[in-house]
Structure 1
Amino acid sequence: MLQRSSSVKHIHITNAAISSVIQLGDSKIINGLNRAIAVQREKQLFIGDEEDFSKYPIFQRPIIFPQDKEDVMITSFHQNPMIHVNTINVIAFSSSSILHVGNTQAINMEARIKHIRQLLPKKT
């Protein structure tokens, strides 16, 4: 893996949450995982077993990655092995996201969120 130095003059991040990564500089492996159950209710009614991830198939399904179909040959020449960044402004990022300035050999980011809406029956 090519190694370079990263230089960031100014960075302002308002909010980074839930398995997010801020990486300045090289890294070998970055793994991010976020699993969440988001329940939206019209009326506060707590059943008590919503947080059981095993109840929802979305959390057990394997991820199918696309197959690499062709080899890519790259030749590059880096006269100055520096990555220069003047300013980065981020309002917010979340749920297994990454802000990265540098080189990485392997990145795996996964976010699985089950959204549940519990609405009251309509009055007729």
Structure 2
Amino acid sequence: MLQRTSIVDTIKIKSVLIASTVQLGDSRIINGFSRALAVQREVDTFFGNEGNFSSYPVFSEPIPFQPLTEPLNISTHNCNPSIKVHNIDITAISASSILHVGNSEHISMEARIKHIRQLLPKEEEEH
């Protein structure tokens, strides 16, 4: 793997959450993975059995990656052995995301979120 020096003059990040990565410099492997259930209800109720990820197929279905069918030729020439960034200003990084300044050999990121919205029936809502 090509090695270069990563130089960042200023970095400002307000929030880094949920399996996210801030990487300054080279890395060989980066893996990020997160799962979340997001339940929104009009009435605060917890049934006790809703936190089971295996109940929802979205967490177990394979991701359908498309195979590369066209030839890929890459030629790289780096005259300068450094990566220079002046300013990075980020509000938030979340859900298996990455900020990376440098070289990477393998990166794999996955975030699976099941959103559930439970609203009252119309007749109950008016009373």
Correspondence for 1:40: 40
| RMSD of equivalent CA atoms | 1.0
TM-score by length of 2: 0.94
Deviation at 1:109, TM superposition (A): 0.3
AA paired with 1:107? I
Deviation at 1:108, TM superposition (A): 0.5
AA paired with 1:38? A
Correspondence for 2:69: 69
Deviation at 1:76, TM superposition (A): 2.2
Structure 2 gaps, min length 5: none
Deviation at 1:37, TM superposition (A): 0.4
Q: What does 1:1-124 align with in structure 2 at a 5 Å threshold? A: 1-123=1-123
CA distance in 2, matches of 1:76, 1:70: 19
**% identity of equivalent residues:** 56
AA paired with 2:8? V
Structure 1 gaps, min length 5: none
CA distance in 2, matches of 1:54, 1:74: 41
CA distance in 1, matches of 2:89, 2:7: 15
AA paired with 1:65? F
CA distance in 1, matches of 2:62, 2:100: 26
CA distance in 2, matches of 1:99, 1:76: 22
Deviation at 1:78, TM superposition (A): 1.3
Secondary structure of residue in 2 paired with 1:123: helix
Secondary structure of residue in 1 paired with 2:105: strand
Deviation at 1:102, TM superposition (A): 0.4
Secondary structure of residue in 1 paired with 2:107: strand
